[in-house]
Structure 1
């Protein structure tokens, strides 16, 4: 009886792992079963996820549109390659943006710590000189 229960729990755990790996954030449902030649304007794309065989029936790129639709494309198609490059470029922060400037400005300065250490040493020298 115990071996049957262990087998049941092993199958249940395996099923949970497989089902959770097939549902990615932002990409609802299971993987693509086939690929299509559907093309949309790149501004309507939100993200993409690559899927590979043996976990899925076909190699594909799953594009998620801003309306929540999934487009399954052949990863070697020129449109899919261009769309992936477009989405990758959207993710990267631009070098001249304000966010990069803010992160540099917000970094703590080491000079204040050094100045505090020097001030402590000067106070010790002054106090020891008065004795």
Structure 2
């Protein structure tokens, strides 16, 4: 009986640890500030859009580069030029 309680306790404790990592990793994947450098379209492989939510404080365009991600301000004209360029490139391939 004590062995079953120990197993149940261990399982619940493990679940609690996993849940805490999932919650903290969500905020780690958020943009917290914007790049100051303008990116050329040719280095951008794709992008995602981040909206403000409970763990992300800013709206952002997350540009996907080879091996990394760069956060850009969606209100900047250069950001939207790169988004349009990537969209146009994707339309050509589809």
Q: TM-score if structure 1 supplies the norm length?
A: 0.50
Which of 12, 16, 20 is residue 18 of structure 2 equivalent to? Answer: 12
Which consecutive unaligned segments of at least 5 residues does structure 2 have? none
Residue 32 of structure 1 aligns to a residue whose secondary structure is coil
CA contact (8 A) 1:38 1:71 kept: no
Shift of 1:62: 1.1
Contact 1:64 1:70 in 2 (8 A): yes
Give the match for residue 57 of structure 1. Answer: 57
Give 3-state SS (helix, strand or coil) of 2:45's partner: strand
**In 2, Cα distance between equivalents of 1:74 and 1:18:** 24
Q: Is the 8 A contact 1:51 1:62 kept in 2?
A: yes
Corresponding residue for residue 43 of structure 1: 42
Indicate the structure (1 or 2) with the bigger Cα radius of gyration.
Answer: 1
* Runs of 4+ in structure 1 over 4 Å off: 5-8
Using CA pairs under 8 Å that are at least 6 residues apart, name the structure with larger relative contact order, 1 or 2.
Answer: 2
Change (3 A) 1:92 1:18: farther
Q: Find the aligned partners of 1:14 and 1:89 in 2 and give their Cα distance.
A: 40
Unpaired runs of 5+ residues, structure 1, are: 23-28, 100-131
Q: Would you tell me which structure has more strand in proportion to its own residues?
A: 2
Root-mean-square deviation (CA, aligned residues, Å) is: 3.2
> 8 Å contact 1:35–1:73 — kept in the other structure?
yes
